[in-house]
Amino acid sequence: MSKTPPMILLVEDNEDDFEATQRSLEKNHFINPVHWCQSGQEALDYLFENNNKQMPDLVLLDLNMPGIDGRQVLQRIKDNDKTKKIPVIILTTSGDPIDIEMCYRLGASTYIQKPVNFESLTEAVKTIKDYWFGVAILPKK
Amino acid sequence: MFHNLNISQSLERRYVLAVGLIAFVLIASFFVFNQHVARGADDSKVINMSGKQRMLSQRIALLSHMIAYHNITDEARQDYISKLSSALETLKQNHKYLSGEETLNGFNIQISEETKRLIFAPEGLNENLDKFFNLALQIKETFKISGVDVSKGSKEVDQLVALALDKVLFQLDQVVTQYEKEALGRVQQSKDLHVILFIIGLVILTLEITFIFEPMTYLIAKSMKEIEDKNFKLKISNQELDDFAYIASHDLKEPLRGLANNASFLQEDYGEQLDQGAQKRLNRMIHLCARMEKLIDDLLYFSRLGRHELAIRETDLNEVIKDIISLMENTIEEENVQIHIPQKLPTIICDKTKITELYRNLITNAIKYNDKDTKIIEIGFSIQEDKTLLFYVKDNGIGIDPVFYESVFRIFKRLNEEDEKIRGSGVGLTFVKKIVERHNGRIWVDSNLGEYTTFYFTLNMDQQNV
């Protein structure tokens, strides 16, 4: 386990959705920092432009965003040696089988379709937190 | 389309015209042929008769000679004389027919002007035959008496023989030749007419090919292409509709999620400040958001049913039903459901997953809309007249009013909306219908209120549809 507390990068263009996810995390007592990128470009900048930034332990990634979308971000993360070990969890509205297939092929760790209902989202986030920061062993930075 | 209508109308006219012309040629051919045969018969009769005349003239000459010069018994002479008079009679009568003086019962001998000239010319056949007849009559009279002296001969007989050999025979020959010539002319005429009719027939056929068959082929090809185009467009627009439903419902989810989230945040953050009434309304909003989510999910699923390719394979329906029953075991026990399968179900070619979905929906429906203590569901099939299979799922449930026979299959149609117990999103039957339609089938309902409901459906998926 690394000494710095685990950190999440949340890539989400929709403010409501961001708030919902963050609240879900809080509700599940995830007190570690969550860095919010509001677009694909912002996420790429954070990950690749500045070496001093703390690398996330987990990426929660939305797929449909204007400009550079989640698929491209996922591809860049998995193509780069520095970032490819980071588990990426797709959290999206899309339930299109093509998207699901493509994301797993690109190297996504999990694919979750955003529930409409906040309670269900909280449940889903709890599962993510319990698994990735409880059961699973994350790679060393 | 309008253009085609014109073409087909003018084609119709051409067709009628062609049929009329062909009928005309056929009828004309028939008459020409008949006339040809009848004329041929007439001509041969005339030629035959003329030939007989020559023979008769010589016979009369011979008989006269025998009567006048041969030393024979009276009895034999009398016999010759009677033969002579009968030959004379025939010669006379035939001459009347052949010269047009008399007609032979209904049979009309057409004597051409040329022939008449030959017959009635001065010193012609007619005159000579008259002389011939008179001489013969005189001979008959002279030798009628028994015991006539034959040693001195007879001037009349000499004249008659000379007439017969020198003139009558020759002139009769001429007439026969003339008749023959004319008959041949008529045969040639018939032949020519036949050739003309034959050529007209060929021309009509050629015209038919050029002006009817060719444009018709073009028209058919064009119509086929139009139908193909329409089918293609229809397929595209169906596809677009499914795509639209998918995209629209997909996009609807995002704001809905925002709505639901904000309602939840409101409840969490300000819940304590709200009174019971406001709390209730907020809960209602969250509940309705969840309900709408379900509807959108159904819509998405429905559009997927239309979008996705079917996975066609041989499927044993008994297995399908067995799987469903085992999955619904709890419900079946709780609701006291009995499932009857009167005869072993067939193995058919279909998309197994979708057909399972179909039966699951129908069975769920049969249980849901049923108020009996024991809920009986019968699953079966029959073989129709055209050898295709007719499947059915029958229950002893509340039944469906005939007014709703059509609308039960419509998306989001709920017949018992107010009844909490049986409220669903109401798309089950819409899925069923879509699945049946994807299998080129048809579904319909038969029911008696309070007694039973039967859903009938056909599935026409064979290897060639794969």
Cβ atoms of residues B304 and B354 within 8 Å: no
Mutate to test the interface with B, among A117, A119, A122 (most CBs of B within 10 A): A117
Mutate to test the interface with A, among B257, B283, B294, B305 (most CBs of A within 10 A): B257
- B283-338: pLDDT as tens digits: 888 888 888 888 888 888 888 787 777 888 899 999 999 999 998 998 899 999 99
Going across the sheet that includes B452-458, the strands are B337-340, B375-383, B389-395, B452-458, B443-448
Question: Count of alpha carbons within 13 Å of B71, Cβ hemisphere only?
Answer: 2
> How many Cβ pairs closer than 8 A exist between chain A and B?
48
Q: Helix, strand or coil for residue B391?
A: strand
**Chain B residues with beta carbon closer than 8 angstroms to that of A114:** 257
Cβ atoms of residues B168 and B132 within 8 Å: yes
Return the H-helix or E-strand segment holding B394: strand B389-395
| Residue in chain B lying closest to A98 (CA) | B308
pLDDT for the residue numbered A140: 76
CA distance B245 to chain A (A): 13
User: Positive or negative CA dihedral for A118, A124, A128, A129?
Assistant: positive
pLDDT band at B124 (very low <50, low <70, confident <90, very high): confident
Backbone angles phi, psi at B457, to 5 degrees: -155, 155
Which CATH fold would you assign to the domain A8-135? Rossmann fold (3.40.50)
- A93-112: pLDDT as tens digits: 888 888 899 999 999 999 99
**Is the CB of residue A28 less than 8 Å away from at least one CB of chain B?**
no
Q: Where are the domains of chain A?
A: 8-135
**Secondary-structure class of domain B310-465 per CATH:** alpha beta
- B177-203: pLDDT as tens digits: 888 888 888 888 888 888 998 898 899
ipTM value for the complex: 0.71
Give me B157's structure tokens.
């007989």
Please list, in sequence order, all residues whose beta carbon lies within 8 angstroms of the beta carbon of residue B118, skipping any fewer than 6 positions away: B124, B125, B171, B174, B175, B178
DSSP 8-state assignment for residue B464: G
- A66-98: pLDDT as tens digits: 888 899 999 999 999 888 899 999 999 888 888
**Chain A residues with beta carbon closer than 8 angstroms to that of B300:** 95
pLDDT for the residue numbered B424: 54
Spell out which chain B residues touch chain A, with contact meaning CB-CB distance below 8 angstroms: 250, 253-254, 256-258, 260-262, 264-265, 268, 286, 289-290, 292-293, 300
Give the whole-angstrom CA distance, residue B299 versus residue B72: 131
CA distance B440 to chain A (A): 25
Give the whole-angstrom CA distance, residue B459 versus residue B230: 24
- Which single residue is written with the structure tokens 């030393």? B71
Q: Helix, strand or coil for residue B343?
A: coil
Nearest Cβ partner for A118 among B253, B264, B292 = B264
Please list, in sequence order, all residues whose beta carbon lies within 8 angstroms of the beta carbon of residue B197, skipping any fewer than 6 positions away: B25, B28, B29, B32
Q: Where are the domains of chain B?
A: 2-219, 310-465
State the CATH architecture for B2-219.
Up-down Bundle (1.20)
Nearest Cβ partner for B261 among A95, A96, A118 = A118
Mutate to test the interface with A, among B261, B269, B293, B302 (most CBs of A within 10 A): B261
- A8-61: pLDDT as tens digits: 999 999 888 898 898 898 888 888 888 999 999 999 999 988 777 788 999 999
Position B145: which residue type? I
CB contact under 8 A, A16 and B262: yes
| Residue in chain A lying closest to B296 (CA) | A116
**Chain B residues with beta carbon closer than 8 angstroms to that of A101:** none
